[in-house]
Each structure stands twice: as structure tokens, then as C-alpha cells.
């Protein structure tokens, strides 16, 4: 076991996200990240209280933060697809217990578009979709055209690699995402993640020129090295051991 994560460390990480990714984040991050930051300390206090009272049958709930889909961490329009200018946002639930690897990892990344060439397909979409897109009171401009779910598997609920990514996931109704919610396979093996590493992935994919600047910042590199050490070192050592010992990598990473 490495050095366990603590609230101060996670709060610092959230602050660094707001500072180093500021040039590509929507202004709403100034509300979203402080809410997550305050949640860290409150949930850790409840977690510690529950552990002290475990003899009374109280089960500690992992501590951490939630960013809700109703107020996601939103990025500015991306130039990566030219005139389409998609918008990426993230909502998540990341929790720790007594280890540095998150006990719970649920991260959803959504790609929104308002561009006429992508928001509606007359050959595939129903008229009901068009009506909802044109509703005068619609509070979500655009439509989700792609969404990804980075998860830590619960072996009592589903089978798959412990850490995996799914295309689709369970969309919210207002997203008007065409992906059917009943289709949640395959689960593709993926490294452990949390919000900082997720933002790195988004920055590199959707804001390459800005990412080249971001990754030169000393504060950003410090957070990167921290999470690579705490989350990725043991994971990739396990992968290497399986390959070196001529074992099935997929079976090694699969939930038991």
C-alpha cells in the first residue's frame, strides 16, 4: 500500500485543475470545483466518524467528491473539429477509503454539439427528437453525440475488467443521446482514473495547442507525477507481470 490519499491532497488537486486548465475550462468551473472541494472535507469527516463508531454497526461510506450532471465541469468549445466546435463536459463520483486507489470511480465524459451537420440526422432520428430540440424552453442547448463512462467495476453487478471504459453508458433523457441505454457492453480495459487524469485526456484530444502549454507548468507536472505514482504504477506493474509470466492479461484484469 502506498501513502493513502488525504483530503488536503485531493483538495489541492481540484484547485490545480482549476488553475492549470483554466484557459480551456468554461467559466462555470469557478462554481463547480469549489463545490467539489468543500465536499471532500465534509465526506472525510463523516467517514472518520463512522470508522470510530464501527462497533455500533455503522458502515463507513468512502469519502471524496461528486460533480453532478446538472452542473458538470464544462470545457470551452473545442477547435478540433473545425466549424463544428463541440463542447466536452465531465461529471463524476470519485471516492477513497484507506488506500490511494479510488474505492469508487465513476466518470462520464460527454461530447455536445449544436452544429446543424451533427445535431440531427433526418434519416435516423424521429420527429419527436426534432421537436424536443426545438422546444422554446429547452435548457440544454445542443445534443450529446458521444459519451464515455470510465468506471471501476462492481463484481456483484457486472463482469468486466476492474477498470474499464464503455461507450454510451446510461444517458440522461435531456441529452437526446441516440445510444440505447440497454446496450452497455463491451467494457474495454482501461487504467484507473480520477478527474485530473481525465482532464489531461480531454485537453490532449480537444485542445492540443493549449495542452502543449499546460503540460509545461511545474504545478501541473507535480500533480501528474503524483497520480501516475499512486494510481498507475501498480496497475501497469500488474499488467507487465501477467505478460512476462505468459498469463492472460484480460483475465488478470477481470473482476473475480
Q: Tell me the three cell numbers of residue 219.
A: 504545478
- Summarised one tens digit per residue, pLDDT across range 1-32 is 445 689 999 999 999 999 999 999 999 999 99
Q: What is the CA radius of gyration of the chain?
A: 20
C-alpha dihedral, 206 to 68 to 149 to 237, nearest 10°: 90
| CA–CA distance, 168 with 161 (Å, rounded to integer) | 17
**In sequence order, what DSSP letters do the residues of 84-96 get, joined into one string?**
G--EEEEEEEEEE
Please report the pLDDT score of residue 1 as a whole number.
42
Read off the pTM. Answer: 0.91
Q: Hey, which residues does 177 pair with through a beta bridge?
A: none
Please report the pLDDT score of residue 4 as a whole number.
65
Please report the pLDDT score of residue 17 as a whole number.
97
Please report the pLDDT score of residue 20 as a whole number.
97
| CA–CA distance, 165 with 188 (Å, rounded to integer) | 5
| CA–CA distance, 242 with 240 (Å, rounded to integer) | 5
- Cα torsion angle, 92, 4, 152, 88, sign: positive
Residue written as cell 453487478?
Answer: 157
| CA–CA distance, 167 with 186 (Å, rounded to integer) | 8
Give 30: exposed, middle or buried? Use CB within 10 Å, 0-12, 13-18, 19+: exposed
Triad 239, 244, 250: Cα angle to 5°:
40
Return per-residue pLDDT of the chain as tens, 256 residues.
445 689 999 999 999 999 999 999 999 999 999 999 999 999 999 999 999 999 999 999 999 999 999 999 999 999 988 788 999 999 999 999 988 889 999 999 999 998 877 888 777 778 888 888 888 888 888 899 899 999 998 888 878 899 999 998 888 889 998 777 777 788 999 999 999 999 999 999 999 999 999 999 999 999 999 999 999 999 999 999 999 999 999 999 998 6
Give me the residue spans of the domains in the chain: 7-253
Amino acid at each position: 500500500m502506498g501513502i493513502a490519499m488525504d483530503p488536503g491532497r485531493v483538495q489541492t488537486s481540484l484547485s490545480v485543475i482549476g488553475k492549470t486548465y483554466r484557459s480551456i475550462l468554461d467559466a462555470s468551473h469557478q462554481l463547480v470545483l469549489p463545490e467539489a472541494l468543500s465536499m471532500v472535507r465534509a465526506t472525510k469527516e463523516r467517514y472518520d466518524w463512522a470508522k470510530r463508531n464501527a462497533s455500533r454497526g455503522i458502515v463507513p461510506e468512502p469519502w471524496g467528491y461528486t460533480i453532478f450532471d446538472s452542473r458538470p465541469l464544462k470545457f470551452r468549445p473545442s477547435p478540433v473539429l473545425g466549424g463544428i466546435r463541440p463542447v466536452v463536459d465531465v461529471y463524476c463520483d470519485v471516492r477513497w477509503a484507506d488506500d490511494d486507489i479510488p474505492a469508487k470511480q465513476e466518470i462520464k465524459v460527454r461530447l455536445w454539439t449544436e452544429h446543424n451537420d451533427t445535431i440531427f440526422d433526418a434519416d435516423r432520428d424521429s420527429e419527436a427528437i426534432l421537436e424536443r430540440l426545438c422546444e422554446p424552453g429547452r435548457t440544454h442547448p445542443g445534443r450529446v453525440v458521444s459519451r464515455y463512462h470510465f468506471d471501476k467495476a462492481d463484481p456483484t453487478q457486472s463482469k468486466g475488467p476492474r477498470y474499464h471504459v464503455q461507450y454510451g453508458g446510461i444517458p440522461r433523457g435531456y441529452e437526446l443521446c441516440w445510444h440505447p441505454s440497454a446496450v452497455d457492453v463491451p467494457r474495454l480495459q482501461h487504467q484507473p482514473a480520477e478527474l485530473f487524469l481525465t482532464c489531461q485526456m480531454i485537453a490532449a484530444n480537444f485542445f492540443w495547442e493549449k495542452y502543449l502549454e499546460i503540460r509545461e507548468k511545474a504545478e501541473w507536472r507535480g500533480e501528474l507525477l503524483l497520480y501516475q505514482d499512486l494510481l498507475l504504477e501498480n496497475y501497469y506493474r500488474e499488467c507487465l507481470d501477467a505478460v512476462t509470466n505468459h498469463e492472460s492479461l484480460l483475465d488478470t484484469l477481470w473482476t473475480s
